[in-house]
Structures are given as structure tokens and as C-alpha cells.
Amino acid sequence: MSGRVVTATRPRANRRAVLRGLFGVSVGLPFLESLPQRSAWAAGQEPVFSLFICAVEGIVATKFFPDDTGALTQSGLAAAGQATSELARHADRLLFVNGVDWVRPASVGEPHAESLVLALTAKNFDTPGSQAMSTGPSVDWVIADTVQPGTSPLALYAGNRHNGYIAERLSFSKAGELTTPSDNPYTLYQELIGVLGPGGTTTPDGQAAARLLAESRKSVHDLVREELTGLMQNPRLSTADKQRLQSRFDAIRAAEVTMDDMSDEHMERCSADGLELDKLEALKTFEYDKNGQVEDVARLHMSLVALAFACNYNRTATLQWGDGLDKTVYQVKSNLDRQWPFSFVSHRVQSDAEVGDDPVAALAHAEIDVVRMQTLAAGLDHFEARGLADRAFVLWVNVFSDGPTHSYQNVPHVIYGSGGGYLKQGAYVDAGSVGNNQLLNTLVSAAIQDTGSTVEDFGEGKPGQLSVIRA
């Protein structure tokens, strides 16, 4: 967005630009319009924010979690020498969970697609195969419909959505209704620029409009009164346009009243500090690169979700990390000579249709697990820096518990954050072979706890919450 002042002498009346006011501040109209509904965190209430991440192609189970369940400490996790040791700096905020199974015990068609459908719905798919769809909503939509009715959750993708075979299969608004995710972090960044100001700068002239208003206690009407008056008198605006414009400014004024309660601490969280602005700007022209770009994209997505939560822009999000059959070529030590795509590495053979036992591929897969946990740790750094550990949770799950077998049993789950005090932290627990519906019941209940509601019967399987992960 431009920081240029809009006046009535412009040849076209741009209602979305009317808030481009003094000091070079650019106010995001969609964001400010929704502030009265979305600013509960700033108003002294206690919403919980939730990010659900699903990765693909399985893990090397023997080299992923620590050998024993129990308490997690930074030193102990670092010394474990496993892939999740890369998360050691977040150990006291982590919950590792084994013993969680998909509600369907095995694939009946195309596991790379069907497993993605099961991950956040805990409900059987419709037609088996690469085009499998959910028979019910995913958790992100259940949460959004409860805490933000009429608002869509953020749906994000790290990978090649145009690969021609099994791309997005994670977020469903209802049975058969797949949510199209954004694969370019710059798209979400542009959406949030209205929160940050032009270029995402944090100087006094380019800070988030919300912070400017909270600090100055000036009305938007005062900041752009001349521009507003001129625009309202513009003959190009119809009576209906003027009524809508006035209604929007009334909503903004109501938002300002709410924002008066925003603490300096909350406003500091809602800033561009910590964003990799150079990398984001470089994605203005986005073309998927199979050579490991997926990790950069996943990390950037996580950083922006943390910002969106800190600004109370949205309450829940999903991130699919990789394509169903992932052709990413990871430049890890054991794959440098071969340059196998991840799907081959996972299958332990140069094929998407067969399964082998190649030991070098197994080493490469373990190394890829380490890389992905490094990326996850970097993403969690943003949640930590924005003070979200006690007001949010992040779930990382894989579609399989093992690469070659494509097993739906004992699928690995990593949870960060207490979810508003609802979830256990600093522990590795065994759920005892339960359906993932119970785990998702618990997470949804954590995410909607400020409404006074809980969920006990999401998806299919035995109802109830998973007590072993409750605080």
C-alpha cells in the first residue's frame, strides 16, 4: 500500500484508500473493520490462537523422539541426539506425544492423499485415492466458526501447488469443501501490511496504524478528516457508497474505543520486528523451486502467522508442509550425489509406486527430519518472541509414522505452547494408542476456551478429550 494522502481531486474515488492518512501511515481497512470483533486479546480477554502444521512423507521413527518418555529439559533434549533435539531451546514449552493413531488403520487407495485428509478431520474420507476428500470439517474451521463466525481461518501451503498430483488436502470448511491455501508468504505479508504500515517498517512514521492510534489516542477521523470530507462530497460516490463509507468509519471509531485498552506490551508484539523483510520482498515474483525452497517458505509462513496472532488478526491457521508426493530435493549430506526427490527418499527406492530398503535413503531421510525440525524451531522462535507461548499452541504432525510403511499408527505429534494453560508442557507422553479425534477434541477445546465451550465428539472414534496432554 502507498503512504500517499488520498484527496477528492483524484480522478477515481478509492474507498479502500481513504485511510491512507497523515504520517505516511497506511491503515488496512479489512483489519480495522474487524477490530471490534477481533480485538478481545487487547481488550483484556484471553483468546487462544492455534496453528496446525502437517508435514508429509513420514519420519525415521527411531531417530526422531527421545528414547524415553518423561520430562523434557533443554539439556536433556539436546543430548538425546535425535531430530527433535533441534527443538531443545523450546523444551520447556514442548509436548511430544506418541501413541496416537489415525481413525482409519490403513490406506485403501492413495495414502499420500488420504492421510492428509485424516490429519485434521479425524473423519473418514469419501472416495479413496488421490482425489480423496473429507466427509466433515477440519479443526481450523470448527474453531473459526466458534470464535470468529463468518471469518475464514488462514490456510497456508509450503510446496508446489501446481505439481499435478496431490497438492493441498488439509483444510476443509465442510464435507467435500477443500480450502485453497496460499503458497506464497508474500501474499499474507501484503494482507498484514495494513497492520504494519508501508514496507513493514517500525519507525514512528511507518508503524502499525493500530499502535499509532493507541499511542496518540487520536481518532482516524481526526487524522484524515480533510480527506474524508472531500471523499464524501465526491459526486462519483453513490448514496449507498457514502452510507457504506460512513458505516465503516463508525466501525473504526468503535475499534478505537476497544484499542484504548490495548497495553504497550500487546502493541509491541504487533510490529514488524523479527520479520525477514528481504526474503519476503523477494517473493513478489514467486516461482516454486524444488531445491529446498519449501523450508524457507514454511519458516516465513510461521513468522507471519505469529504476527497475525500477535495483532489478533486471526485466531487459527493451517500450514501444509510439502506436497502429497513431495518432489523437493533436499541438499542433505546423504543426498548430495543422488539428488533424489523426497518421495523417493521416503520410499527408500527410486519410485513413487514401490517401496525399498535402501540404507543411504534412510540416512538421507533422518537428515531431512533434522532440517525440518531446525525450520520448526526457527518458526517457534517467532511465537516465543511475540509472547505467544501462553496464549497459543502450535501442532506439528506428520502424515505417517514411518516413510516406507506409510503407517497410520503411532503418528508423531509435537505441540508447542500451553494454549492458555490448557495443555501440558515440558513433557514427552504416551497416549496409549488412541484415535487422533481425542487429541483434536482437546486442542479445539483449548482454542475455544474463552467461549466457555468444549468439544468432546469431533470426528470419529471414542469421544472425549486426551487427559494425558491436559495441564
Residue 58 has pLDDT above 80, yes or no: yes
- The C-alpha cell at 453 is 465451550
Percent of the chain with pLDDT over 90: 65
SS3 178: strand
Name every residue whose Cβ is closer than 8 Å to that of residue 48 and which is 6 or more positions away in sequence. 315, 391, 392, 393, 419, 420, 422, 446, 447, 448, 449, 450
- Would you state the pLDDT for residue 328? 97
- Would you state the pLDDT for residue 246? 73
- Residue 178 phi/psi, 5-degree rounding, is -80, 135
- Would you state the pLDDT for residue 291? 94
Query: For 375, which DSSP code?
Result: H
Residue 7 has pLDDT above 50, yes or no: no
pLDDT, tens digit (0-9, with 9 covering 90-100), for 169-199: 999 999 999 999 999 999 999 888 765 544 4
- Would you state the pLDDT for residue 154? 96
pLDDT, tens digit (0-9, with 9 covering 90-100), for 85-144: 999 999 999 999 999 999 887 778 899 999 999 999 999 888 888 899 999 999 999 999
Confidence of residue 203 (pLDDT cuts 50, 70, 90): very low
pLDDT, tens digit (0-9, with 9 covering 90-100), for 214-246: 443 344 445 445 555 666 677 777 787 777 767
**Between 27 and 254, the higher pLDDT residue:** 254
- Would you state the pLDDT for residue 190? 84
Residue 213 has pLDDT above 60, yes or no: no
pLDDT, tens digit (0-9, with 9 covering 90-100), for 278-288: 999 999 999 99
Range in 209-218, 283-292, 381-390 the model is least confident about: 209-218
Closest-CA residue to 468 (of 440, 418, 428, 429): 429
| Mean pLDDT (whole number) for 393-411 | 96
| Mean pLDDT (whole number) for 409-422 | 97
- Would you state the pLDDT for residue 251? 56
**Between 272 and 406, the higher pLDDT residue:** 406
Level-2 CATH architecture, domain 43-183+288-469 = 3-Layer(aba) Sandwich (3.40)
- Would you state the pLDDT for residue 362? 98
- The C-alpha cell at 181 is 491455501
Confidence of residue 324 (pLDDT cuts 50, 70, 90): very high
**Between 434 and 239, the higher pLDDT residue:** 434
List Cα–Cα distances, 302 to 49, 172, 231, 324, 382, in angstroms: 13, 20, 38, 20, 8
**C-beta separation of 134 from 117 below 8 A:** yes
SS3 287: coil
Residue 253 has pLDDT above 90, yes or no: no
- Would you state the pLDDT for residue 36? 40
- Would you state the pLDDT for residue 211? 46
Query: For 213, which DSSP code?
Result: H
Among 102-116, 258-272, 408-422, name the most confident range: 408-422
| Mean pLDDT (whole number) for 197-223 | 42
| Mean pLDDT (whole number) for 384-409 | 96
177-178 and 94-101: which strand pairing? unpaired
Ranges for all domains in the chain classified under CATH 3.40.720.10: 43-183+288-469
